[in-house]
């Protein structure tokens, strides 16, 4: 990847995006469109179809028909595997195109986007492709004269609602295992970041995925997302996003067919630094990158920094020094460390959180302002607020922006108490040279992922899922296949 190749794509025309239903590009049933504004400059990038309930119903009907006639589910595992592997190859071949398109749509810095978006998506698709022909049923140890067989079957039609922060990565986490198990899928991208995900669907069809197996409808959540969640023909719903939306989806499931709903929701993840951390300089660097990359728009971001009191001032000063040296700007520039906030409304929300934090007694140690206003884009300085009380808004609410809340602690018990003083439990981290303490913290902090002397980076071999109000179910790893699988028992008298 070089800057010239990126620049060649940065102003490429982006055609109006239509729905993809039954293998065909189709407009909204009423002809309506939505404007796509680029966070880089606030200008129109393109238009996308503004879906209706009728559009979503048509996509679900196509997925149901494809599942019932077994055009995909009925293919041998080796055949499905070949298609998914071709899909992964195409994603890699189009990686730069996909990454630049995504950056223009959601603002992630290109250095991160290329790896985290098409790179991650291709690896995820390939991982589940390789798992297809290794995922067997079971023979149960039964009483004499009987045979117990446990069959693994696809669930049917999967509805997937994908967020705007990493649409390709998170989309692949849901699409790849669902398709690997033989399901049909209807995809609803985020309103503010749908373009690269729709291109991913086009590449799936180029790879040989049968028409109707993967459908995608763009539009507003309260319209097409609600129609998906209320449908009697969607068997499983998977969602990454806000807790408020997750609650509505659970309500819609109860009001319709009691579809299974798997949710990856918010986080307020604690990053805990003890004075005996093996390398405090490295801990400060990773802390800064763990909250400020992608403008803080990362589900597992270490947004709460808990620091042992004896090193608090020096450690926070070092994190601030690193943060202030991180270049904020054009996300299509390879030298940029922090790109754009996804939307103007998200930027305004971020700034309001900072004002509230100061009003509640916090001290603004760094940042706190909008940057590069002359560009028309949505840029924010990496922000550090110290002295954040445990019950303060900034300690309890997810910002989803480049804002770090800092609180000091006295000892291990105090650190655990502060870490667990949250409705969330998505991720966390601990920095210590004490092996026993590390294991105690892993067990004591209520979270789905716990990092030790690092923050971020777990690969596809391990699951990602939260506890508490961070959701249920798991993405990544072989455990993700469980969401898209029905178990059927055959009890046979011999």
Positions marked active-site: 264
Distances (CA, A) of 456 to 102, 175, 291: 21, 22, 10
Are 385 and 356 contacting, i.e. CB atoms less than 8 angstroms apart?
A: no
411 DSSP 8-state letter: S
DSSP three-state, residue 249: helix
Residue corresponding to tokens 């800057």: 3
Structure tokens at 87: 């899909």
Are 64 and 233 contacting, i.e. CB atoms less than 8 angstroms apart?
A: yes
CA 351-445-270 angle, 5° bins: 20
Specify the pairing of strand 44-49 against strand 485-493. Answer: unpaired
CA-to-CA distance for 474 and 451, rounded, in angstroms?
17
Structure tokens at 493: 């008298």
Are 427 and 447 contacting, i.e. CB atoms less than 8 angstroms apart?
A: yes
CA-to-CA distance for 226 and 477, rounded, in angstroms?
29
345 contact partners, CB below 8 Å, separation of at least 6 = none
Q: Is 76 buried (19+), middle (13-18) or exposed (0-12) by CB count in 10 A?
A: exposed
Task: Give Rg (Cα) of the chain.
Answer: 23
Are 307 and 409 contacting, i.e. CB atoms less than 8 angstroms apart?
A: yes
Structure tokens at 301: 């971001």
Q: Where do the DSSP E strands lie in 413-484?
A: 427-431, 449-452
Structure tokens at 113: 């986007």
Query: Which string of DSSP letters, residue by residue, matches 57-119?
Result: HHHHHHHHHHHHTTTTTTS-HHHHHHHHHHHHHHHHHTHHHHHHHHHHHH---HHHHHIIIII
Structure tokens at 450: 């716990």
Specify the pairing of strand 146-154 against strand 138-140. Answer: antiparallel
> What are residue 109's phi and psi, to 5 degrees?
-60, 140
Host H or E run for residue 199 = helix 195-206
């Amino acid at each position: 990847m070089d800057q010239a190749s990126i620049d060649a794509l940065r102003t490429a025309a982006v055609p109006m995006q239509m729905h993809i239903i039954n293998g065909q590009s189709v407009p909204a049933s009423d002809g309506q469109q939505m404007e796509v504004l680029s966070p880089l400059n606030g200008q129109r990038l393109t238009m996308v179809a503004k879906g209706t309930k009728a559009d979503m119903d048509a996509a679900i009907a196509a997925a149901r028909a494809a599942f019932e006639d077994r055009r995909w589910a009925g293919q041998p595992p080796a055949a499905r595997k070949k298609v998914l592997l071709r899909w992964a190859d195409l994603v890699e071949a189009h990686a730069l195109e996909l990454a630049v398109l995504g950056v223009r749509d959601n603002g992630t810095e290109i250095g991160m986007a290329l790896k985290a978006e098409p790179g991650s998506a291709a690896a995820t698709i390939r991982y589940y492709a390789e798992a297809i022909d290794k995922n067997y049923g079971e023979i149960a140890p039964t009483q004499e004269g009987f045979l117990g067989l446990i069959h693994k079957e696809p669930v049917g039609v999967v509805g997937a609602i994908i967020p705007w922060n990493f649409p390709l990565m998170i989309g692949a986490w849901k699409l790849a295992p669902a398709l690997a198990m033989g399901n049909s899928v209807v995809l609803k991208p985020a309103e503010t970041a749908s373009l690269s995900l729709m291109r991913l669907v086009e590449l799936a069809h180029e790879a040989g995925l049968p028409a109707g197996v993967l459908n995608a409808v763009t539009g507003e959540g309260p319209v097409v997302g609600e129609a998906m969640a209320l449908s009697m023909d969607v068997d499983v719903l998977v969602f990454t996003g806000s807790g408020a939306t997750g609650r509505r989806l659970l309500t819609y499931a109860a009001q319709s067919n009691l579809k299974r709903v798997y949710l990856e929701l918010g986080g307020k993840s604690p990053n805990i630094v003890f004075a005996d951390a093996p390398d405090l300089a490295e801990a400060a660097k990773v802390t800064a990158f763990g909250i400020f990359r992608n403008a803080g728009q990362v589900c597992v971001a270490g947004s709460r920094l808990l620091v042992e009191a004896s090193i608090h001032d020096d450690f926070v000063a070092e994190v601030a020094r690193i943060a202030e040296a991180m270049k904020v700007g054009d996300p299509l520039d390879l030298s940029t460390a922090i790109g754009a906030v996804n939307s103007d409304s998200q930027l305004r929300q971020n700034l309001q959180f900072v004002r509230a934090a100061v009003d509640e007694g916090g001290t603004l140690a760094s940042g706190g302002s909008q940057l590069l206003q002359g560009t028309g884009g949505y840029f924010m300085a990496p922000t550090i607020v110290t002295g954040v009380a445990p019950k303060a808004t900034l300690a309890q609410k997810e910002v989803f922006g480049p804002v770090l809340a800092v609180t000091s602690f006295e000892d291990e018990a105090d650190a655990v108490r502060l870490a667990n003083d949250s409705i969330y439990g998505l991720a966390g981290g601990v920095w210590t040279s004490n092996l026993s303490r590390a294991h105690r913290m892993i067990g004591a902090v209520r979270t789905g992922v716990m990092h030790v002397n690092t923050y971020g980076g777990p690969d596809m071999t391990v699951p990602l899922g939260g506890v508490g109000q961070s959701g249920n179910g798991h993405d990544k790893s072989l455990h993700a296949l469980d969401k898209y699988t029905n178990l059927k028992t055959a009890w046979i008298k011999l």
